Amino acid sequence: MKHAAKLARRVLDYACTLTKPGVTTDEVDTAVHEALIDAGAYPSPLNYVGFPKSLCSSINEVICHGIPDTRPLEFGDIVSFDVSCFVNGVHGDNCATIIVGDEQEIDEIGTDWRGVPYLGSKFFDGRRPDDETSIRSARRLVHAARESLYTAINKIGPGSCLTDIGAAVQDVADSYGYSTVEKYRGHGISSDFHRPPFVKHYRNDDKLELVPGMIFTIEPMLVEGAGECFEWSDQWTVATTDGGMAAQFEHTVLITESGVEILTVPE
């Protein structure tokens, strides 16, 4: 599991480095597919219940399960990449959200999830005021989604309860004025891609004690408006009903004797 998780993270980081204005998610998907095959793994999403690609790429109002396509990415797009792989009989799974083209310098929020500083205010010189407003709004949403993930992780360990995760995510979402999507959940993972326990990212009453050896994903999805969503006609892409922007982060975690270990961290 640790090997599969590390590989999934390494390829996720690789996908994010490729994401520039003008690049298509189809091109990122091809690169992810080749990287996983070269590493002796198989992309878990490919042909999973008919999913046609090796990568989930969800842009702007798309919450999850977006199918890579030929639309060139634009500066300021919010893109969530979900990279999963099957290797040595088990699956690794993780997700992160980035803002296309937003990197380098320092900003009031600081650095993004990869440790890359955001573009500073000087970058916006000569651009439309709407560009700066939309980027700063996107940063806040992405920052909140990442914060909700780590807040939830910091709340758990042996003897804690599954409900602690949903409560932590909800607290962060509420503090920012965002909604947390209730329809989709984290999940247990090993030889099966998805298995119990299923992890809700909102306040709930799923009483389950967490014990050493449990491995599951935590993958909160935060949205700007209401948490309602709908599925496109492709039967996969899930978008917000009101057009609000969405962001998601995901780690695979292991409950240990003394706490919790994040398996999908950089090597």
The identity of residue 196, as a single letter, is P
pLDDT at position 132 = 74
The residue-averaged pLDDT of 168-173 equals 97
Q: Which has more confidence, 162 or 130?
A: 162
pLDDT at position 1 = 97
Structure confidence by residue, pLDDT tens digits, 64-119 = 999 999 999 998 899 999 999 999 999 999 999 999 988 655 555 666 666 666 66
Q: Which two tokens stand for residue 168?
A: 């932590």
The identity of residue 76, as a single letter, is G
The residue-averaged pLDDT of 136-152 equals 93
Structure confidence by residue, pLDDT tens digits, 122-134 = 666 666 767 777 8
Measured between alpha carbons, how far is 172 from 248 in angstroms, rounded to an integer? Answer: 13
User: Does residue 63 lie in a domain region?
Assistant: yes
User: Does residue 118 lie in a domain region?
Assistant: no
pLDDT band at 135 (very low <50, low <70, confident <90, very high): confident
User: Does residue 240 lie in a domain region?
Assistant: yes
User: Does residue 211 lie in a domain region?
Assistant: yes
Structure confidence by residue, pLDDT tens digits, 198-227 = 999 999 999 999 999 999 999 999 999 999
Is 93 annotated as ligand-binding? yes
Contact by Cβ (8 Å): 45, 92: no
Is 250 annotated as ligand-binding? yes
Measured between alpha carbons, how far is 184 from 221 in angstroms, rounded to an integer? Answer: 8
User: Does residue 46 lie in a domain region?
Assistant: yes
pLDDT at position 111 = 64
User: Does residue 239 lie in a domain region?
Assistant: yes
User: Does residue 38 lie in a domain region?
Assistant: yes
What's the CATH number where 217 sits?
A: 3.90.230.10
Structure confidence by residue, pLDDT tens digits, 236-257 = 999 999 999 999 999 999 999 9
To the nearest whole percent, how much of the chain has pLDDT over 90?
83
Is 33 annotated as ligand-binding? no
Is 105 annotated as ligand-binding? no
Structure confidence by residue, pLDDT tens digits, 27-74 = 999 999 999 999 999 999 999 999 999 999 999 999 999 999 999 999
Q: Which has more confidence, 135 or 83?
A: 83
pLDDT at position 133 = 78
Is 82 annotated as ligand-binding? yes
Q: Which two tokens stand for residue 37?
A: 């095959």
**Owning domain of residue 218:** 1-106+127-262
pLDDT at position 131 = 75
pLDDT at position 106 = 52
- With 0.85 as the threshold, say if the pTM is over it: yes
Measured between alpha carbons, how far is 129 from 121 in angstroms, rounded to an integer? Answer: 11
| Partners of 42 in beta bridges | 86
User: Does residue 116 lie in a domain region?
Assistant: no
Counted domains in the chain: 1
pLDDT at position 266 = 74
pLDDT at position 156 = 97
